Amino acid sequence: MSAGVGVELDDVWVRFGDFVAVREANVNIKGGEFFSFLGPSGCGKTTILRAISGFLEPSEGTVSIGGANMAGIGPNKRPTALIFQNLALFPLMTVWENISFSMEVKGAGKKERRHRADELLELIALADQGEKMVHELSGGQRQRVAIARALCAQPDVLLLDEPLSALDLKLRQHMRTELRAIQQQVGITFIYITHDQGEALTMSDNVAVMRDGVIEQVADGQAIYDDPATPFVASFVGENNVLSGKVTALSKNVATVDTNLGKLRARVATAVQGGLNTGDRAMLFVRPEAVGIVETGSRGGNKISATVVTEEFEGSNYHVFMETAAGEPLKMSLVNKGQSRASATGTKLTVTFDADRAVALPVGALASE
Amino acid sequence: MKSSTFLSIFIGLYLIIFFGYLFGPLILMSMTAFNSSEFPRVSPWECFTLEWFDVLARDDALITGLTNSLIIAGGVVVLSVLIGLAGALILTQVWPRLRPWYYTIVISPILVPGVVLGISTLIFWDRLGTMFDARYDSVFYDGIFLTIIGQSTFISAYCMLVFISRLQRFDPALEEAALDLGATHTQTFRKILLPFLYPAIGSAAVLAFLASFENYNTTVFTVIDQSTLTTVLASKVRYGINPSISSLAVIIVAITLVGAIAHEALRRREQLKIERGEITDSSSAAANKMQGWLSGNPAMILLMLVFVAGLGTVWFGSQYSPNQCKVDVRLQKELLQQRQGPDIFSPQGGEQTQPQAPAIPDGSGSGASDTNPGRGTFGDVFDPGNLEEGEGAAPSGEGSSGGGSGDDGAAVQSPGASTFGDVFNPGNLEESAGTGSQE
Ligand SMILES: Nc1ncnc2c1ncn2[C@@H]1O[C@H](COP(=O)(O)OP(=O)(O)O)[C@@H](O)[C@H]1O
Ligand SMILES: [Mg+2]
């Protein structure tokens, strides 16, 4: 088990009538990995998870778990356990009965079940709460019971469908850490679904970003953030300033894009290297934290002049919202180092960014706000 | 200020009339069960008695009917709950676009008049019996079997409605969760869906039982040569009643009350559990549990009061003997009649001393003795004070069904207080309407 059981989606399509919910999904999830599907609501994440757990058969393509083709194998025969979006704990059973349900249906005796349930209750830090009914627990506790119930079935792959979305922010952040810790403790493959990019980035070894049934990029968190494969990924994950224009020159994977703010240089995203040519329309993405105020006397580089609209102070950072000469918004985040924040509304600034920290991509759809 | 007082008076009045309309007949009839008068009535109040319960217990036709009703109700409960459950489960499974059609078809027996269901059941099984050359003592012609089948055609639809409304609140994710945890489909049904449906199964069973128990219009056809409580009661009403029927009604009302209270208590407990779940603070909820299920429900408190009053009545009845009172009433009547005329007392006295056997004595008495026609005589009828008395005795006269030639003679002689005259007496009509509504 420590080696872990991998999951492979090979050219999977899921259709509901004429509607295509999942289009040509190819994913290779390694054993023991914490893998996330990230995407806005309705993009087909749950559908993929249901195809893996066996509640629906893909219209095309194959799902393999541990190398074995799962076609025709029902959910109760697959080595997966699913944690439902609404948890789906059994309301008429006590906590420990919930947890040991998977043993009950296999005919395990009460003593054995109780013993195992107590072990798992220990794991989720709910020892001696086993006799309670589910509705007597708080949201976070229910969450953990659902995890324990799934783990009790000793699955090779644990599937989690937005399990934290019902919790408040504080608890959510706490549960992130806890989930990750549990995963490392039990060492099985976790497939996690979320529309929250923060969750995906903090917990996962690898993330698949989805849009409208299409998997746009599969990579680790840093690559997703720093080297997005599509404008959608760039705009959906984290914040990004977008500048569009036409590619006028390419050298060593650095593109010069002629925008309405002048010529700006940016690195061509890894995924599109060789695919972006001179003359193509392109989008240039710069993270707010990659933008900085031009030091007096600095030479060359990307320069933009903008007017401050407002400024927000967030403690560790402050965010300066500006408007460029072309009337487009531009955001800059500065680390609070105790410097004076003399950027009152109307102040004219010249800002800059490294070509290396901006990404050029062919024009495409952005994530809607 | 003034108009609001008016309004509250008006509303109060309205409520009194409304509840009087709903419960008046029931209360009146329940009272008649404890009056020693031969005919179910409240006024004049003679003596408090429990003798009608004795009469009821000794009425073989009624007891047979009751036994059959219980057997049939049991059969209907089993059959209807099973069919209803299956019907409701299929509804959740069929192709969504087929659902309205399926629903309409399965629900349609409720819309078909019970009479039609009864006749068609009878004809269908008769045809079937003929096809198989079945004998008349075979199941095709067995009243109890046919009644179970006939009633279940529409009662199972009631049950299905109960199950559907419960199933609508079922989270299908629970089934998927069970499957996902390795349960088979059978295990999922048994361990997840069925426990969820237990309350609905209980409700459906009670509903089916009551619907079956009180059914008349289907039963009257399907029961053939046998009888149920309702058919016995119906024939009794036709041939004259005594307060033992009221006492039966009292028993039924009492059982219903107990059932309602028990059900309400259970429901409250379950509701409390849910509320507690939402609050998640279990300690304080337990403290005001009792308060919780009584407060905010005046109907419940009223029910409890009625129930306690009933218990009190039974206790009082077991302590107190009506004999002394009855003797007093008889003496009083004799006195009254002595003042009114000379030749009256013998049948009156006989009647009062034998209330347990209401069907026989009076009719034969008046029929046998032309020379002593008693209350049937001419002079008597026109005595206004006597009218009431004759009314009370009349059902027993009717009970002798057919009677002797003397009886006929009496009828001709005295249209007022005799068999037929009685039926048209408005006071009488009211009383039987009271019992009639109970069936
Ligand atoms: N059983 C179904 N029948 C028809 N359409 C469905 C069904 N399940 C999901 N869909 C559609 O598929 C799309 C993806 O759904 P889902 O996978 O649940 O999205 P999410 O990413 O929010 O989990 C949605 O547009 C949804 O309406
Ligand atoms: Mg979803």
CATH number at residue A264: 2.40.50.140
Q: Within this chain, do residues A59 and A152 fall inside the same structural domain, yes or no?
A: yes
Pick the ligand that lies closest to the CA of residue A45. 1
Longest dimension (CA), chain B: 93
Q: Within this chain, do residues B128 and B205 fall inside the same structural domain, yes or no?
A: yes
Q: Within this chain, do residues A163 and A245 fall inside the same structural domain, yes or no?
A: no
Residues in chain A: 369
ipTM: 0.81
What residues are paired with A254 via a beta bridge? A251, A267
Atom 16 (ligand 1): residue with closest C-alpha?
Answer: A44
Per-residue burial over A76-87, b = 16 or more CB atoms within 10 Å of its CB, e = otherwise: bebbbbbbbbeb
Residue type, A282: A
Other Cβ atoms within 10 Å of A28 Cβ, number: 14
Distance CA B116, CA B224 (A): 15
Last residue of a domain, one of A226, A251, A285: A226
Last residue of a domain, one of B341, B368, B387: B341
Count of domains for chain A: 2
Place of tokens 């969760």: B177
Report the separation in Å between the CA atom of A52 and the middle of ligand 1, taken as the mean of its atom positions: 15
Tokens standing for residue B407? 């009886």
Domain assignment of residue A204, yes or no: yes
Contact A13, A61 (CB under 8 A): yes
The torsion angles phi and psi of A207, rounded to 5 degrees, stand at -130, 140
Last residue of a domain, one of B205, B224, B241: B241
Report the separation in Å between the CA atom of A229 and the middle of ligand 2, taken as the mean of its atom positions: 24
Domain assignment of residue A2, yes or no: no
Nearest Cα of chain A lies from the Cα of B256 at a distance, in angstroms, of 29
Write the DSSP symbol of residue A272: G
Count of domains for chain B: 2
Place of tokens 């909820």: B285
Domain assignment of residue B86, yes or no: yes
Nearest Cα of chain A lies from the Cα of B198 at a distance, in angstroms, of 11
Q: Within this chain, do residues A184 and A211 fall inside the same structural domain, yes or no?
A: yes
Domain assignment of residue A173, yes or no: yes
Identify the closest residue of chain B to A155 by CA–CA distance: B181
Last residue of a domain, one of A192, A209, A226: A226
Q: Within this chain, do residues A291 and A191 fall inside the same structural domain, yes or no?
A: no
Q: Which residues contact B133 (CB under 8 A, 6 or more apart)?
A: none
Which of A15, A16, A236 gets mutated to test ligand 1 (max ligand atoms within 8 A of its CB)? A16
Distance CA A269, CA A254 (A): 9
State the pLDDT at residue B59: 83
Q: Within this chain, do residues A72 and A107 fall inside the same structural domain, yes or no?
A: yes
CATH number where B179 lies: 1.10.3720.10
Domain assignment of residue A369, yes or no: no
Write the DSSP symbol of residue A1: -
Nearest Cα of chain B lies from the Cα of A151 at a distance, in angstroms, of 10
By three-state DSSP, how is residue A361 classified? strand
Distance CA A173, CA A161 (A): 16
Q: Within this chain, do residues A178 and A144 fall inside the same structural domain, yes or no?
A: yes
Domain assignment of residue A205, yes or no: yes
Atom 25 (ligand 1): residue with closest C-alpha?
Answer: A42
Domain assignment of residue A220, yes or no: yes
Q: Within this chain, do residues A209 and A315 fall inside the same structural domain, yes or no?
A: no
Atom 18 (ligand 1): residue with closest C-alpha?
Answer: A46
Tokens standing for residue A180? 């990750």
Q: Which domain holds residue B221?
A: 61-241
CATH number where A54 lies: 3.40.50.300
Q: Which domain holds residue A102?
A: 7-226
Q: Within this chain, do residues A197 and A304 fall inside the same structural domain, yes or no?
A: no
Q: Within this chain, do residues B105 and B222 fall inside the same structural domain, yes or no?
A: yes
Place of tokens 């989720």: A124
Domain assignment of residue B185, yes or no: yes
Distance CA A127, CA B80 (A): 46
Q: Within this chain, do residues B92 and B209 fall inside the same structural domain, yes or no?
A: yes
Which of A19, A57, A211 gets mutated to test ligand 1 (max ligand atoms within 8 A of its CB)? A19
Question: Strands A34-38 and A189-194: what pairing?
Answer: parallel
Which region holds residue B221: left if phi is over 0, alpha if psi is between -120 and 50, else beta?
alpha
Taking the CA of residue A16 as reference, the ligand 1 atom at the shortest distance is 4
State the pLDDT at residue B304: 76
Who among A55, A105, A133 is closest to B181 (CB)? A105
Question: Strands A157-161 and A80-83: what pairing?
Answer: parallel
Residue type, A305: S
Q: Choose among A100, A133, A141, A137: nearest CA to A119.
A: A100
Domain assignment of residue A189, yes or no: yes
By three-state DSSP, how is residue A17 classified? coil
State the pLDDT at residue B31: 83
**How confident is the prediction along chain B (439 residues), in pLDDT tens digits per residue?**
567 889 999 999 999 999 999 988 888 888 888 887 777 777 777 777 778 888 888 888 888 998 999 999 999 999 999 999 999 999 888 888 888 899 898 889 889 998 999 999 999 998 988 888 888 878 888 889 999 999 999 999 999 999 999 999 999 899 999 999 999 999 999 999 999 999 999 999 999 999 999 899 999 999 888 889 889 888 888 877 778 888 888 888 888 888 888 888 888 887 877 666 554 444 444 444 444 555 556 667 777 777 777 777 777 766 666 667 777 777 777 787 777 655 544 444 444 444 444 443 443 333 333 334 333 334 343 444 444 443 333 333 333 333 333 333 333 333 333 334 343 444 443 443 334 333 3
* pLDDT tens-digit map of A181-220: 888 888 899 999 999 988 899 899 999 999 999 999 999 9
Q: Within this chain, do residues A253 and A346 fall inside the same structural domain, yes or no?
A: yes
Q: Within this chain, do residues B70 and B171 fall inside the same structural domain, yes or no?
A: yes
Residue type, A279: G
Domain assignment of residue A329, yes or no: yes
DSSP H or E segment with residue A348: strand A348-353
Write the DSSP symbol of residue A133: B
pLDDT at A122 over 50: yes
Pick the ligand that lies closest to the CA of residue A85. 2
Distance CA B146, CA B347 (A): 46
The torsion angles phi and psi of B391, rounded to 5 degrees, stand at -60, -45
Q: Within this chain, do residues A37 and A24 fall inside the same structural domain, yes or no?
A: yes
State the pLDDT at residue B435: 40
The torsion angles phi and psi of B420, rounded to 5 degrees, stand at -80, -40
Q: Within this chain, do residues B209 and B281 fall inside the same structural domain, yes or no?
A: no
Q: Is B71 exposed, middle or buried (0-12, 13-18, 19+ CB in 10 A)?
A: middle
Tokens standing for residue B177? 């969760």
How far from B17 is each of A324, B13, B94, B438, CA to CA, in Å? 79, 6, 48, 19
Residue type, B301: I
Distance CA A45, CA A214 (A): 10
Pick the ligand that lies closest to the CA of residue A86. 2
Q: Within this chain, do residues B115 and B201 fall inside the same structural domain, yes or no?
A: yes
Last residue of a domain, one of B310, B341, B372: B341
Who among A76, A137, A152 is closest to B179 (CB)? A76
Q: Within this chain, do residues B221 and B331 fall inside the same structural domain, yes or no?
A: no
Residue type, A308: V
Which of A41, A43, A83, A195 gets mutated to test ligand 1 (max ligand atoms within 8 A of its CB)? A43
Work out the average pLDDT over A212-229. 94
How far from A52 is each of A60, A206, B293, CA to CA, in Å? 13, 17, 48
Our answer on whether the CB atom of A175 is closer than 6 Å to any ligand 1 atom is no
What residues are paired with A14 via a beta bridge? A22
Q: Within this chain, do residues B230 and B261 fall inside the same structural domain, yes or no?
A: no
Is B174–A88 a contact, with Cβ atoms under 8 angstroms apart? yes
Q: Within this chain, do residues B233 and B288 fall inside the same structural domain, yes or no?
A: no
Domain assignment of residue B225, yes or no: yes
Last residue of a domain, one of A165, A192, A226: A226
Residue type, B337: Q
* pLDDT tens-digit map of A131-185: 999 999 988 889 889 989 999 998 999 999 998 887 788 888 888 888 888 888 8
Q: Within this chain, do residues A319 and A192 fall inside the same structural domain, yes or no?
A: no
Report the separation in Å between the CA atom of A11 and the middle of ligand 1, taken as the mean of its atom positions: 19
Q: Within this chain, do residues B125 and B161 fall inside the same structural domain, yes or no?
A: yes
Q: Within this chain, do residues B157 and B256 fall inside the same structural domain, yes or no?
A: no
Is B180–A92 a contact, with Cβ atoms under 8 angstroms apart? no
Our answer on whether the CB atom of A47 is closer than 6 Å to any ligand 1 atom is yes
Residues in chain B: 439
Q: Within this chain, do residues A201 and A313 fall inside the same structural domain, yes or no?
A: no
Atom 27 (ligand 1): residue with closest C-alpha?
Answer: A42
What residues are paired with A87 via a beta bridge? A84
Q: Within this chain, do residues B219 and B322 fall inside the same structural domain, yes or no?
A: no
